[in-house]
Structure 1
Amino acid sequence: MAGPTTAERGKRQQESSGPPSARRLRRRRLRTIVILAVAALLLGGGGTWVLYGSAWLRVTHVSVSGTRVLTPAEVRDAAAVPVGAPMISIDTNGIEARLRRKLPRIDTIDAVRAWPHGIGLKVTERAPVLLLRDGKNFVEVDGKGVRFATVSQAPRNVPALELNVSRTGSAAASLRRFGIDRLVREAVRVAGDLPPSVAKGARALQVRSYDDISLALGDGRTVAWGSSENGSAKARTLTALMKAAPRARHFDVSVPTAPASSGS
């Protein structure tokens, strides 16, 4: 088969090269692409330098909010935020994990960057609902059953948790089945279900077994609560029973459908 003629080759070459205006347009496009690529590289390098190398976006202060018992200084010391480091390099998840490990009183912690120069630490502390006696000190127990702090002075209006679990008989079986930690959690559930008016005057929660939890009030009255089950129903029954028998000294709501009161 014969190849293209000289005329045909010339025509193809003319079509590929195009008129001068088309060639200039292609050169402009190529220059634009090169310029944009160089600009992107410069901007990327400049942005990296601003974030990591410059003094503009570095940590200069750490703020703490939400503390009640802890002091802001204690939180800052435990957080160990590297002041002077680039903001972008701060490991906020690591700070949160470190604070929970070093300060068990902290329930939740939110570490955030406060651009351009700050780190904010928002703290929620655990609140004691029961106290366990430990020699002359007290162990604070929160609403999740976590023993989070030992203090020398009992906080006001927090009842004591008295674990009077026998090692013999049915109480021993309950101890073997549930364990001390479970019994503590059951007591915490009871404390959370108490009517506010009763909780305010509570002196101690006494645990003898899973099914034998009672309450001692500051005025000498007692309440047999039973297990932690049906707590809301027991609370309503206790409120009604105390109104119906204001002179009674002992109340039994262990079976909320068949409550009882005695003494005067």
Structure 2
Amino acid sequence: MAGPTTAEKRGARQQEPSGPPLVRRLRRLGRRRLRTIIVLTLVLLIAGPGTLWVLYGSSWLRVERVSVSGTRVLTPQQVRDAADVPVGAPLVSVDTDAIEARLRQRLPRIDAVDVVRSWPHGIGLKIVERTPVLLVEKSGKFIEVDDEGVRFATVSDAPKGVPLLELAVSRTGSAAASLRRFGTDRLVREAVTVADDLPSAVAHRTRQVEVRSFDDISLRLTDGRTVAWGSAEQGRAKARALTALMKAAPGARHFDVSVPTAPASSGS
């Protein structure tokens, strides 16, 4: 079979892109990319309405269940009621930020919450409850205070192992000046810091944390022994000093770690 004529070869060369080889290659790639973009655009235009219908119009991806994890005092049903998840709504349209805001507002006991979509039909509510470190007694009930000083719940029965906070601030003298300078909320936070720094063995036996002023915080243990802690500063050093002091003088009734470098004990 005869090959192309000289005229045909010349015509073919004239149809090829002109310029250096690299330029010609880039031009060919550009045409291929353009064709790819056009094809993808056509696919999206065809599939787009179908995708939207699946996400929003069909019954395939709608909220059918709400799971709750992490509860200790709260019940899962309390969390579901407060979350008010729109069961039956398209899963993709659920406002998870709004659910989180409702939970925080309606259930102050919740410290952290994570609202997640569980495809194809679920919403998961993962919560962390606040843990009380102190109790404030008021009108026969107990206000729970967490490690950030937040008063988050009022309960009828005191949780076991959580000490009472006693604000015994005098309205006269230096204690009154301390109250005016720092305010009640700051004094409560100082007591929380002290409770958080206690050695675990002492924390479990602490019945009361008493605040007389910013620099005068003391503990009363379940067996009647007392600890002068001073301010909330140098908490870790005071914890170490108290642990060593209790081992060295197990029969003592009073311990003073307000100056952790010079701890003292007395009584028997």
Instruction: With the length of structure 2 as denominator, give the TM-score of the two structures.
Output: 0.86
Corresponding position of 1:188: 192
- Describe the shift of the 1:42–1:152 C-alpha distance in structure 2 as closer, same or farther (beyond 3 A): same
Q: Distance in 1 between matches of 2:137 and 2:162?
A: 12
The secondary structure found in structure 1 opposite 2:88 is coil
The secondary structure found in structure 2 opposite 1:243 is helix
- Describe the shift of the 1:37–1:224 C-alpha distance in structure 2 as closer, same or farther (beyond 3 A): closer
The secondary structure found in structure 1 opposite 2:71 is coil
TM-fit CA distance, 1:32: 9.1
* CA deviations over 1:58-77 (Å, ceiling 9, x no partner): 00000000000000000000
Corresponding position of 1:200: 204
TM-fit CA distance, 1:38: 3.9
Identity of aligned residues (%): 72
Corresponding position of 1:134: 138
Corresponding position of 1:98: 102
- Describe the shift of the 1:158–1:33 C-alpha distance in structure 2 as closer, same or farther (beyond 3 A): closer
- Please list, as runs of the form range in 1=range in 2, the aligned pairs for 1:26-175 lying within 5 A after superposition: 37-175=41-179
- Describe the shift of the 1:162–1:33 C-alpha distance in structure 2 as closer, same or farther (beyond 3 A): closer
Q: Is 2:263 the partner of 1:254?
A: no
Structure 2 residue identity aligned to 1:229: E
The secondary structure found in structure 1 opposite 2:158 is coil
Corresponding position of 1:24: none
The secondary structure found in structure 1 opposite 2:262 is coil
Which stretch shifts more, 151-160 or 43-52? 43-52
- Describe the shift of the 1:209–1:45 C-alpha distance in structure 2 as closer, same or farther (beyond 3 A): same
Corresponding position of 1:176: 180
Structure 2 residue identity aligned to 1:46: G
TM-fit CA distance, 1:258: 1.0
Which stretch shifts more, 138-147 or 40-49? 40-49
Unaligned runs of 5+ in 2: 1-13, 16-33
Q: Is 2:237 the partner of 1:233?
A: yes
Corresponding position of 1:7: none
TM-fit CA distance, 1:44: 1.0
Q: Distance in 1 between matches of 2:126 and 2:251?
A: 48
- Describe the shift of the 1:250–1:55 C-alpha distance in structure 2 as closer, same or farther (beyond 3 A): same
TM-fit CA distance, 1:113: 0.1
Structure 2 residue identity aligned to 1:174: S
The secondary structure found in structure 2 opposite 1:238 is helix
Corresponding position of 2:8: none
The secondary structure found in structure 2 opposite 1:247 is coil
Unaligned runs of 5+ in 1: 1-14, 17-29
Which stretch shifts more, 42-51 or 139-148? 42-51
TM-fit CA distance, 1:40: 1.8
TM-fit CA distance, 1:39: 2.9
Q: Distance in 1 between matches of 2:37 and 2:160?
A: 73
Which stretch shifts more, 122-131 or 36-45? 36-45
Structure 1 residue identity aligned to 2:179: L
The secondary structure found in structure 2 opposite 1:128 is coil
* CA deviations over 1:212-234 (Å, ceiling 9, x no partner): 00000000000000000000000
Q: Distance in 1 between matches of 2:36 and 2:139?
A: 80
- Describe the shift of the 1:166–1:48 C-alpha distance in structure 2 as closer, same or farther (beyond 3 A): same
